[in-house]
Amino acid sequence: MADESLGRFGRVWVAGVVLYAIARAAVVWPTLSTYGVSPAVFLIIDVATAWPYAVGQVKVVQGLRRKDWRHAQLWSLVALISFLAPYLYIVGAGSGELPVIAYVIIGALITVLGAASVMRVLRQVRP
């Protein structure tokens, strides 16, 4: 059932984020499985958190546009937790086995993708 309050762009955005999560899991499958990271568990976490992450971004934009700070803060928290969950799983599951480069890549992904997400939200809010 589509969430009509998201609007057309919001629904397309949510679908795109879910598809991206599936593609990202395909990369993790052969790469990190040798380090104790279960690709199946990662896929479940990544796909399960993609929807609340994407919806959270749309709802943050809506809240900021209406100047409803409480709404924006709540959905920011949902988006943040959903964004970090897959990465935290990799770090936790691969703890002690992951090479240093994996931590560097995860940190870079969190930084770059997190900054891109914030900039995308700000671009949507500004007139």
User: According to the model, what pLDDT value does residue 28 have?
Assistant: 74
Kindly state the average pLDDT of the residues 90-111: 89
Q: Rounded to whole angstroms, what are the CA distances from 66 to 44, 62, 121, 123, 126?
A: 34, 6, 14, 15, 12
User: According to the model, what pLDDT value does residue 1 have?
Assistant: 38
Distance between CA atoms of 37 and 121, rounded to whole angstroms? 31
| Percent over 90 (pLDDT), the chain | 41
The per-residue pLDDT for range 33-77, each reduced to its tens digit, is 888 888 889 889 988 998 899 889 989 999 999 999 999 999 999
φ/ψ of 3, rounded to 5, equals -90, 100
Tokens 């937790």 found at = 81
Amino acid at 110: I
Contact 78, 56 (CB under 8 A): yes
Helix or strand run (H / E) with residue 105: helix 100-125
Kindly state the average pLDDT of the residues 112-125: 90
* Whether pLDDT at 14 is above 80: no
Whether the CA torsion 120, 118, 24, 48 is positive or negative: it is: negative
Q: pTM score > 0.85 for this model?
A: no
